[in-house]
Amino acid sequence: MPLLEIDLLGPPVARYQGREIPLGARKPAALLYYLVSRPAYPLGRAQLATLLWEEHSEAEGRNSLSTALNRLRRTFSMLPFFPIVASGDSIAWQPNPDVRTDLDRFAELTSLARDAGDGSALDAAVALYRGPFLDGFDVRDSVAFSEWVQQERERWHQRILATYGELIELDQRRNQNSAAILHVRQALRIDPLQEQLHRTLMGLYYQNGDRASALAQFQTCERLLREALDVGPSAETRSLRDAIVAGRGPRSASRPATDLDGEARLGCVCKYCIHLVS
């Protein structure tokens, strides 16, 4: 077990030997999260000062940055090392075998899965996602930091969906319909407005001989789209519904489940939408 764990996919949390570490002030925490997301990547002090103290002069921002670093040093004083390295005018998060971050672990697992075709590694990767990146965390007086958080949330949202797509496609290739159904439903909890996922689930239910669930899934898709976007299902989704009603549904997946962004109905991860799909 690593000495230090830092998880950013969901509400951010840091743990030392399994026990949560309170980080206190928001600016030092924001600095930590920003550095952790860019391991071994040196960042200039001026860049970091502008990111977090944009309304201050450069000198004031640099002083505030130094204060934030000192607070982080005190926070992690129980460690035999300080994972943030300051060298000259640059600062970087230094990867260490005694430190684990969910971002690094996700990259390791997805790389392993793609190299070895390991579905269990993909399962472990998506399980790391507890919610949107830095869910519930923000720095009110830093527009630049807030914009970065939003960009990272969208990037990780798409990355998780793409990984679910790979996992679902692997399930389908192995004719593991029950596993595919489970993974599609999990992905829909993250983004209930993905019509391709709804179609995939309709097809999987039909292949399992469960026409009623396939048609109920169409109704769920239709309701979600009406409530969130005031639009109905696409022609492709309606055609699949009609084929299932007529008993001519798909015998196998007609499109790879990894193609999740074809309808431009992406990005809704609000708590309201997450709870719409049971």
Query: How many of the other CB atoms lie within 10 Å of CB of 121?
Result: 18
What pLDDT is attached to residue 260?
Answer: 55
Sorted by where each starts, the structural domains of the chain and their CATH numbers stand as 4-101 (1.10.10.10), 175-278 (no CATH)
Place of tokens 């990037």: 155
Q: Are strands 99-101 and 4-7 parallel, antiparallel or unpaired?
A: parallel
What pLDDT is attached to residue 106?
Answer: 96
Place of tokens 């990984």: 163
Nearest CA to 196 out of 244, 276, 273, 261 is that of: 261
Query: How many of the other CB atoms lie within 10 Å of CB of 204?
Result: 29
**Segments in the chain below pLDDT 70:** 252-278
- Expressed in percent and rounded to 5, the helix, strand and coil fractions of the chain are 55, 10, 35
What pLDDT is attached to residue 69?
Answer: 95
Query: How many of the other CB atoms lie within 10 Å of CB of 117?
Result: 11
Buried b (16+ CB within 10 A) or exposed e, 39-71: beeebebeebbbbbbeebeeeebbebbeebbeb
What pLDDT is attached to residue 253?
Answer: 55
DSSP symbols for 54-120: TTS-HHHHHHHHHHHHHHHHHHTTTSSS-SEEEETTEEEE---TTEEEHHHHHHHHHHHHHHHT-HH
- Contacts for 114-118: CB closer than 8 Å, 24+ residues apart: 114/166, 117/170
Q: Are 85 and 91 in contact (CB under 8 A)?
A: yes
What pLDDT is attached to residue 273?
Answer: 33
What pLDDT is attached to residue 244?
Answer: 96
What pLDDT is attached to residue 266?
Answer: 37
What pLDDT is attached to residue 221?
Answer: 97
What pLDDT is attached to residue 117?
Answer: 73
Place of tokens 């899934």: 217
